[in-house]
Homo-oligomer: A and B are copies of this chain.
Amino acid sequence: MQTIAPELAELAALIADSGRAGILSRLMDGRAQTASELARVASVTPQTASWHLARLVERALLKVERRGPRRLYRLATPLVAQMLEGMMTVAAIDPHPSRPPPWIDAEMRRARTCYDHLAGELGVAVTDAMREHGHLHLDQEAGELTASGRAFLRDLGIDLRAPARSRRLLCRPCLDWSERRPHLAGRAGAAVADLALQRDWIRRRPQGRSVEITEAGLVAFRDLFGARI
């Protein structure tokens, strides 16, 4: 049986190292990072990180771009992010349901970005609030933004028109691995996250994918969205 299995194993082997998994996880926010930064999050020396990064680029999971004396690494395509999303969803399933999962960092669990949209308690709370106000229908496989939802986002100053040539979905669910429930993704999810960053409702922490919810953000998410956070 000649199948894709060998390629599958080869791909998995690339992710199967904790250093490389840390690097990929760090890059899940879609931004580029320097080799040094990635060495730091992966807790390895720069030499080792360089070795890992070369492998990831060679297999086309990452793209590299030179910026002066530094090299910036980022995920090669959204397909890679989508794959990692799916793997994290399964990875978050505790095979021994008896013991609680204590290994999720509190800040990550609270609020983070998932490629380009909000995730964690914040992402799920915002999604739930929009759902309760009739702005949104969402289950594990598909989502729909209602007329009320479009109006709501428009009033917030969000332009939902798709960029030319974009085939990206307006509204789709993304299974949150820390909350184990779907949150809003797609163009609408990205727009909400962009808005939150622009209005300083959330701030990216200097390291890692977690974000800090500002005082203004707490007020905005509660009053404007009706989110319970």
Q: Of B2, B60, B83, which is within 8 A of A103 by CB?
A: B2
Contact with B along A175-191 (1 / 0, CB 8 A): 00110000000100000
Judge whether A207 is part of the interface by a CB distance below 8 angstroms: yes
Interface-forming stretch among A135-143, A153-161, A192-200, A214-222? A135-143
Judge whether A93 is part of the interface by a CB distance below 8 angstroms: yes
Is the beta-carbon distance between A8 and B3 smaller than 8 angstroms? no
Q: Of B8, B60, B87, B91, which is within 8 A of A95 by CB?
A: B60
In Å, the complex CA distance between A85 and B84 comes to: 12
Q: Given the known A-B contacts A83-B86, A90-B80, A142-B142, are A41 and B1 also in contact in the complex, defined by CB atoms under 8 Å?
A: yes
Is the beta-carbon distance between A18 and B6 smaller than 8 angstroms? yes
Judge whether A35 is part of the interface by a CB distance below 8 angstroms: no
Judge whether A66 is part of the interface by a CB distance below 8 angstroms: no
Is the beta-carbon distance between A22 and B1 smaller than 8 angstroms? yes
Q: Is the interface of A mostly helix, strand, loop or mixed?
A: helix
Q: Given the known A-B contacts A4-B25, A4-B177, are A13 and B11 also in contact in the complex, defined by CB atoms under 8 Å?
A: no
Which residues, 123 to 153 on A, are CB-close (under 8 Å) to B?
A: 139-142
Q: Given the known A-B contacts A60-B93, A87-B86, A167-B139, are A103 and B7 also in contact in the complex, defined by CB atoms under 8 Å?
A: yes
Q: Given the known A-B contacts A4-B177, A167-B139, are A90 and B79 also in contact in the complex, defined by CB atoms under 8 Å?
A: yes
Judge whether A30 is part of the interface by a CB distance below 8 angstroms: no
Q: Of B21, B167, B168, which is within 8 A of A8 by CB?
A: B21
Q: Which A residues fall within an 8 A CB radius of B?
A: 1-18, 20-22, 24-26, 41, 58-61, 79-80, 82-93, 95, 103-105, 108, 139-142, 167-169, 172, 177-178, 186, 207-209
